[in-house]
Amino acid sequence: MKALLEVKGVSRFFGGLAALTDVSFDVQKGEILGLIGPNGAGKTTLFNVVNGFYPPSRGDVVFNGKAISGLKPHKICGLGMARTFQVVKPLQRMSVLDNVIASAFLRARTRALAEEIAVETLRFTGLYEDRDFISKGLPLGKRKRLEIARALATRPELILFDESCAGLNPTELDHSIEIIRKIKEMGLTIMVIEHHMKVIMSISDRIVVLNYGEKIAEGTPGEIKSNPLVIEAYLGESQGA
């Protein structure tokens, strides 16, 4: 196993606020790494640093053996890292198909080729029937899946899912888990932020836990479940009872 993504001592400050402090971990090729933590723990900030929206204040991000800290998001995406957004950002006045074509152009030289990739991706994510809808009018579940489709169409090696399952009903949830599993089977590496404990425990190979911007635990779902620090972060300090 070789680390696809290495996060080395990353800190990120906003003014005097430390959103991330000295966070280090690796993502191995082909695994699903879960990232959990209470609200405001710095999960999305970590994604934004990895994906290039913010340069790290300290530390380095290494992707495929190449230091990427400080590169623009489009460069990082070109190197093979895609992401979805927690607050979905569909290209609103474009149809579902056009949304995915726009991102497929990263690897496709012609329009026909881009459309081919887009159609294939839409079938994979189960959005093909909705391809002509303007994405503004899609229900949340489908918009979340559109985010996944768009990320996939850039043909990445690593995908960052930022709460792609939040706010879904049970049927949609199963569908999304199914898609994430299938993406793993295709040989892609996945990093996922998720609040839904059942989901994260069942799909992750390993889990990293953040609290107040610091990494407090790392391990298999079984180890994480019984880690006292994690329980404390989520449930509060025990009163000795």
Count CB neighbours of 62 within 10 A. 16
**Count of residues interacting with another protein (CB under 8 A):** 27
66 lies in the site for another protein, by CB under 8 A: no
> Under the phi-then-psi rule, with left for phi > 0, alpha for psi from -120 to 50, and beta for the rest, what region is 173?
alpha
| From candidates 3, 18, 62, 91, binder to another protein by CB under 8 A | 91
Shortest distance, position 175 Cβ to another protein, whole Å: 23
The binder of another protein chosen from 18, 62, 94, 166 (CB under 8 A):
94
Q: Contact letters (x/-) for another protein, 116-155, by CB under 8 A? A: ----------------------------------x---x-
Note whether 112 binds another protein by CB under 8 A.
Answer: no
Contacts for 45 with CB less than 8 Å, ≥ 6 apart:
12, 19, 20, 54, 213
Per the document, the length of the chain is 241
Closest CB to another protein among residues 150, 206: 150
Cβ nearer to another protein, comparing 49 with 230: 49
The correct pick among 36, 77, 188, 233 for binding another protein (CB under 8 A) is 77
Q: What sections of the chain are H helices per DSSP?
A: 43-51, 73-78, 96-104, 111-125, 140-153, 170-185, 197-203, 221-225, 228-235
DSSP code at position 241: -
- At 128, is the secondary structure helix, strand, or coil? helix
Binding site for another protein (CB under 8 A): 51, 53, 72-75, 77-78, 82-83, 85, 89-94, 98, 101-103, 105-106, 111, 114, 150, 154
